[in-house]
Structure 1
Amino acid sequence: MERTQVKDIIEQRIASYPNGYLFVSSNFRDCGNYEAVKRALARLAEEKKIIRIMRGIYKKPNFSEFLQEEVEASPIDVAKIYGTAYGWSIVPYGDTALNLLGLSTQVPSVYTFISDGPYRKVALDNGILLEFRHRANREISGLSYKSALIIEALRAIGKEGVSEEIRHTIRHKSTEEELKKLKEESIYSRNWIIDEIKKIIGGADV
């Protein structure tokens, strides 16, 4: 297949994606060989038809008329697609988990995650850092994303740091279905975390 054909096929496929959609180069394995796909994506990035987030990860542009600027991809979404590309399960960790649940207003300087993959630290093209810390698969597998996020946030706060205000925030950041799953999925957590989850759910109709 000629180089221009590969580029045209990829461009047509990207046109079907919603604005801001994140994708990886491996999405286009069926369009041509690795080098042809790599060159086609590089050309599309040069033409500003796509935006390179980091090596192998791209975004369809999402220009905001209201803000009059490009809406940047969420580091959380980038981390998710990065993990998916490598077949990892990932969960926000520490300050990153607290920030996502609204338990901290401090924007992390490094977005940190636990995963069942190897330790890795990667830089996005905009300078934001993503850090992946290894944890055994048994500690994060079988959990829904929200349950794992809440458990990691509680772990980051610590047994003595959980207040009723924190429980209230977690409760109101979760749907009834998410709280039901949390109750079911937390049975193998540490005893104090199970106790805290019971207190969180105690104030909800689940």
Structure 2
Amino acid sequence: MARQQERARRTRAAIIRSAAVEFGKSGYAAASLNRILEGSRATKGAMYFHFDSKEDLARAVLESAVERYRVTSERWLARTDLGPLDVLHGMVDEVALRLENDIVIQAEFRLVIEPEFYRDAKAAGGRIVDRATRLLAVRAIEQKQLRADADPDRFARTLAAALAGQRYIVDVQGGPMDLRTRFQEALEVIVEAMATPEWADEFRRYGWRAAARLEELDI
């Protein structure tokens, strides 16, 4: 029984991964179930055992992406060896790294702008990052890294918009993605506008103290 359950788990994961590749490349409407099956090496019966339809499969991809964002935010929020803004930089850097390398995250980014999944955008992984960003902004104000008059909601909204904009610009321009550099630049512009002079002086001397590492991610 345990072997059968493990085999079923692996089959389901392989189908989701193949679906993420297909949705990320072709979008939802043009995605081919046959290509998904070919990529997963699963049978049609196995696919319909786990998923009722293409829409059900797409939502499984979205759920997998949300789980990745949750893991990312929780891992960085748990860091007690860093100040809030360095934690934020590490989290933003990991999001960029995932967008560059994680096919499930790439597929989610494509799916949530499809008409069939507009409503899902409200519960997408970006919302998890937004909440974590606001929490870190509050901590940064408390620890005098951001000014006392900084608005955590405004900070989080502005950063989310800046990062999304950078991601879309990369899509339009084409070519190799350098989201890590673009995301870091956006973060620095926003942070420096609201930072205390003391934090700004320290940042000029030492820079960021944390960054994401691809080998630490389950990709």
Question: Is TM > 0.5 for Structure 1 vs Structure 2?
Answer: no
Structure with the bigger percentage of helix? 2
- Structure number with the bigger relative contact order (C-alpha 8 A, sep ≥ 6) is 2
Structure with the bigger percentage of strand? 1
